[in-house]
A and B are shown apart, each in its own frame.
Chain A
């Protein structure tokens, strides 16, 4: 007879022993484990919301894999891809290059929490989190690689993390910071709570919904299986924050959330934001990034924060809410115009109908970002190809590694927040990015972003040298996903 889990789970997970051969501090060095000095007895109160045993875990995961792989087997993915619209192709190319290596990075973050976490329940959940992230890496590489015969861009599902492409450098700076260079407690707050609970719904639930509407059922199913894991293992964060707050570490917990929430937001805004508002084909697009963020982030995340006794981040009203309306629109212009520096084939997403949608969702878009698109559209329509590849590089923010941007056009408002330290000038796209740097200058000051590397000669001073530095042969560089045909309708309407 099978014994019920509830009858033995608590006994099984009680794995805090008193070490005999080494000291407690040698076994759990504070710099890896808990620099906050919280007593072990407190860590032992960590009550994991999901009480999972290995037997249950394997059974459930197997069912998820069977679901995802059987949908994949039943549908000819390559044929679907070949017939997909350019925007959806761009979305898939970008997703499969950018996401698998972040998932793989999370494997080591969870493994560190598993090894150095002080709460037995926390370690137990993190063990499964480690396995989850291995699965997420492998399934996404496999699903991406399947398209390799149809499109060279999918080589980047595996290649991307081994390059110094500027998009990858930006991601690496963010996730190295929050996942890979922190102790078990700090990285769990930043990864599990701020990143996973804050944003993965956006990436996997919202994107999955768009995928289903577009008819990409295997991508939708795969994303759902990923999110069901995220929903479980992200729960490590809540009991952890409760323990921190109860032990007088509220201020530190708040700061960790404030830093990581902003860092991850910028990544999601730039990459997922353009996928929602520009790449998803218009007739299958239901919600804007702004609507998704209000649904999944501002409402749910703030409720969770409040329940844990934390406040909303200090920059919420003044910087975060306006950023939802602006940041990704600026990034989209740069990503389209500097397309040869990316592994995917971006689309502009600004036909007259799409512009109408953008204006409706983001009132004022035509007078701001639309003004830059007016110039680009005219160049495309008139065949001025020499003006469609900029002859000047952008300045990247010293924190996000993404273009330092602001509001374009008639309401022009681009601000550079600078900081001089040890003979270097750092440039930040917002006061929040600068504030993060100021919290721990020693952590960030020796990093050279893409702009720094161009200026100091690390990136060779020639277009070909730059592409070589990024590991991009001529065949791997992005081109307009619509071969500039999108501007025809715009030109007709203007005439």
Chain B
């Protein structure tokens, strides 16, 4: 368990944000942390029936929701896209 920093590219937002997470967080938790900071501040909350998923910046495949930060092979300040998808 240790602190880890990601660059967060949240769908709809105007720019990247510094996202402090923990290496034991899962991708679903990473998405939730991003939502807590950004939804309702810069971007609307996800619509009912929508959830957020995480992918490496610029890729189309989402990372598994249960994958932990420590196991994702990220480098410090790696960039992730947080995308709205049907739940």
| A interface, CB within 8 angstroms of B | 329-330, 333-334, 337, 369, 371-372, 374-376, 379, 384, 387, 390-395, 403-409, 412, 414-416, 418, 420, 425, 427, 451, 454-455
Contact B14 A414 (CB under 8 A): yes
B45 to chain A, nearest CB (A): 9
In the complex, residue of chain B having the shortest beta-carbon distance to the beta carbon of A391: B37
Q: Can you list 7 contacts pairing A with B, beta carbon distance less than 8 Å?
A: A376-B42, A390-B41, A393-B17, A403-B15, A412-B11, A425-B75, A455-B5
Contact B75 A416 (CB under 8 A): no
Cβ contact of B18, chosen from A329, A387, A394, A412, cutoff 8 A? A394
In the complex, residue of chain B having the shortest beta-carbon distance to the beta carbon of A393: B18
Separation of A374 and B12 alpha carbons in the complex (Å): 12
Separation of A372 and B75 alpha carbons in the complex (Å): 30
Contact B40 A379 (CB under 8 A): yes
List, in ascending order, chain A residues with CB within 8 A of B11's CB: 412
Separation of A406 and B16 alpha carbons in the complex (Å): 9
Contact A414 B76 (CB under 8 A): no
Does B24 make an interface contact (CB < 8 A)?
no
Contact A404 B15 (CB under 8 A): yes
B77 to chain A, nearest CB (A): 5
Separation of A395 and B43 alpha carbons in the complex (Å): 17
List, in ascending order, chain B residues with CB within 8 A of A395's CB: 7, 15-18, 77
Q: A408-B12, A408-B13, A418-B79 are in contact. Are A375 and B40 (CB under 8 A)?
A: yes
Cβ contact of A337, chosen from B18, B42, B78, cutoff 8 A? B42
User: Which B residues, 2 to 56, have Cβ-Cβ distances below 8 Å to chain A?
Assistant: 5, 7-9, 11-19, 37-38, 40-44
Q: A415-B58, A427-B77, A455-B76 are in contact. Are A392 and B38 (CB under 8 A)?
A: yes
Q: A379-B40, A416-B7, A427-B7 are in contact. Are A334 and B14 (CB under 8 A)?
A: yes
A124 to chain B, nearest CB (A): 46
Contact B14 A405 (CB under 8 A): yes
A387 to chain B, nearest CB (A): 5
Given A379-B40, A404-B15, A427-B7: 18 more A-B contacts, CB < 8 Å: A369-B14, A376-B41, A384-B40, A390-B37, A391-B37, A392-B8, A393-B17, A394-B16, A395-B7, A403-B16, A414-B9, A414-B13, A416-B9, A416-B57, A420-B75, A455-B5, A455-B18, A455-B77
In the complex, residue of chain A having the shortest beta-carbon distance to the beta carbon of B33: A392
Separation of A312 and B41 alpha carbons in the complex (Å): 40
Contact A333 B42 (CB under 8 A): yes
Residue of B5, B9, B16, B19 with most chain A CB atoms under a 10 A cut-off: B16
Separation of A404 and B77 alpha carbons in the complex (Å): 13
B2 to chain A, nearest CB (A): 14
